[in-house]
């Protein structure tokens, strides 16, 4: 099968996306597919091929992509384009994707998970992994997703929305407070603040990444995540850190993060998390695969958020959960593609 692994883009999570996508390409090549990695933003000038179809015949040497500790700004990413364009789709991206049998979305962050790319592909008749444009956008926007969860009586931490350029809203809960951009991931722009002074300092940082910022009730509990693969809940994974909280560095560097799957929790709690993950996916309209993050403060289980395109890096949670179910990385990628094809054929 001819598969484009779409990577990079203009998101601050660009480096995370490239790490995921290199591993996905390695895996799909291992499975015998004609997989090619294409950067959404940089595109492909086709200088070394005569036709688009020959893109899929390029040699590929399996490799790794180390995630830098630097979080790229959109302005810095824009400098990577030699033509000066800030268009999300680089040269020949759409044409190459149209020639593929499937596009595996290795994108992360706002312009990869907010539905823009998915909506464009729908217009061009391009098949892609993951959820629909609408579901992707809803899941990405923490304002919308939390509203939907609360309407369905799914417990999630309390919150208010701060808007750039407007007065800070009153808090309906006390400190500590979690500050995070409404559209974003990988804990970029996120801080946990202990008082009003720290909150005032944290808001400008978060506003660098989004005009809407979620001020969320801090829930002191154990942290978990549950992956969903083609309608099946994988074993939960518990995340803990040696110091601080599970931030960008802990997520993507060898720096004091600890994982256990299946977790050492009562079977009834584990089952409830898995059931809540499936319900959350359904409420948000997510399909094919995804991941739902939780906090457990006994006896309550809180949904933090859902991820429509979970990370697939060496440190990511979904591959660890799949491995606990006997599904290796290459088979995980294969099942994601097969699952989406089955959905499209219905």
Give the tens place of pLDDT for each residue, 204-236: 888 887 788 989 999 999 999 999 999 999 999
The encoded tokens of residue 226 equal 């549950």
pLDDT at 50 exceeding the cut of 70: no
pLDDT at 84 exceeding the cut of 70: yes
Query: What pLDDT, on the 0 to 100 scale, is given for residue 245?
Result: 46
Give the tens place of pLDDT for each residue, 162-192: 988 888 888 888 889 999 888 765 556 788 8
pLDDT at 7 exceeding the cut of 50: yes
User: Whole-angstrom Cα distance, residue 100 to residue 93?
Assistant: 11
pLDDT at 309 exceeding the cut of 90: yes
Residues 95-120: what's their mean pLDDT?
93
SS3 95: helix
CB 80 within 8 A of CB 157: no
Residues 273-299: what's their mean pLDDT?
96
Give the tens place of pLDDT for each residue, 113-162: 899 999 999 999 999 999 999 999 999 998 899 999 999 999 999 999 99
User: Whole-angstrom Cα distance, residue 149 to residue 131?
Assistant: 18
Rg (CA), the chain: 20
Residues 269-296: what's their mean pLDDT?
97
Share of the chain above pLDDT 70, in %: 93
For 100-187, where are the alpha helices, taking DSSP H only?
110-113, 116-124, 133-140, 142-151
Residues 291-308: what's their mean pLDDT?
95
pLDDT at 333 exceeding the cut of 80: yes
Q: Which residue has the higher pLDDT, 280 or 175?
A: 280
Query: What pLDDT, on the 0 to 100 scale, is given for residue 246?
Result: 47
How does residue 315 score in pLDDT terms, banded at 50, 70 and 90? confident
3-state helix, strand, coil in the chain (%, to 5): 35, 20, 40
User: Whole-angstrom Cα distance, residue 192 to residue 178?
Assistant: 5
Query: What pLDDT, on the 0 to 100 scale, is given for residue 71?
Result: 73
pLDDT at 251 exceeding the cut of 60: no
The encoded tokens of residue 109 equal 């962050």
pTM, rounded to two decimals? 0.89
- Mean residue pLDDT of the chain comes to 89
């Amino acid at each position: 099968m001819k598969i484009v692994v779409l990577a990079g883009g203009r998101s601050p999570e660009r480096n995370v996306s490239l790490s995921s996508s290199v591993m996905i390409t390695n895996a799909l090549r291992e499975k015998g597919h004609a997989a090619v990695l294409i950067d959404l933003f940089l595109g492909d000038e086709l200088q070394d091929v005569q036709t688009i179809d020959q893109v899929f015949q390029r040699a590929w040497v399996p490799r790794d992509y180390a995630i830098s500790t630097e979080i790229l700004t959109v302005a810095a990413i824009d400098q990577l384009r030699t033509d000066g364009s800030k268009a999300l789709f680089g040269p020949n991206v759409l044409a190459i994707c149209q020639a593929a049998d499937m596009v595996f979305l290795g994108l992360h962050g706002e312009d990869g998970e907010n539905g823009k790319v998915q909506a464009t592909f729908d217009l061009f008749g391009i098949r892609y992994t993951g959820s629909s444009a609408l579901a992707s956008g809803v899941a990405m926007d923490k304002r919308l997703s939390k509203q939907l969860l609360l309407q369905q009586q799914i417990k999630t931490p309390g919150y208010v929305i701060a808007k750039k350029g407007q007065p800070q809203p009153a808090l309906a809960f006390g400190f500590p407070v979690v500050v995070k951009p409404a559209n974003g991931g990988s804990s970029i722009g996120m801080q946990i603040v202990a008082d009003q002074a720290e909150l005032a300092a944290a808001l400008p940082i978060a506003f660098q990444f989004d005009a809407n910022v979620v001020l969320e009730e801090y829930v002191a509990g154990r942290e978990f995540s549950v992956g969903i693969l083609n309608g099946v809940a994988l074993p939960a994974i518990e995340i803990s850190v040696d110091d601080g909280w599970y931030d960008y560095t802990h997520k993507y560097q060898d720096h004091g993060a600890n994982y256990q799957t299946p977790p050492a929790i009562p079977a009834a709690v584990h089952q409830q998390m898995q059931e809540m993950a499936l319900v959350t996916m359904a409420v948000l309209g997510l399909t094919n695969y995804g991941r739902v993050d939780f906090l457990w403060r006994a006896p309550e289980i809180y949904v933090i958020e859902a991820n429509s395109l979970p990370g697939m890096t060496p440190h990511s949670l979904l591959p660890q959960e799949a491995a606990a179910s006997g599904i290796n990385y290459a088979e995980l990628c294969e099942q994601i593609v097969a699952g989406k094809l089955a959905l499209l054929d219905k």
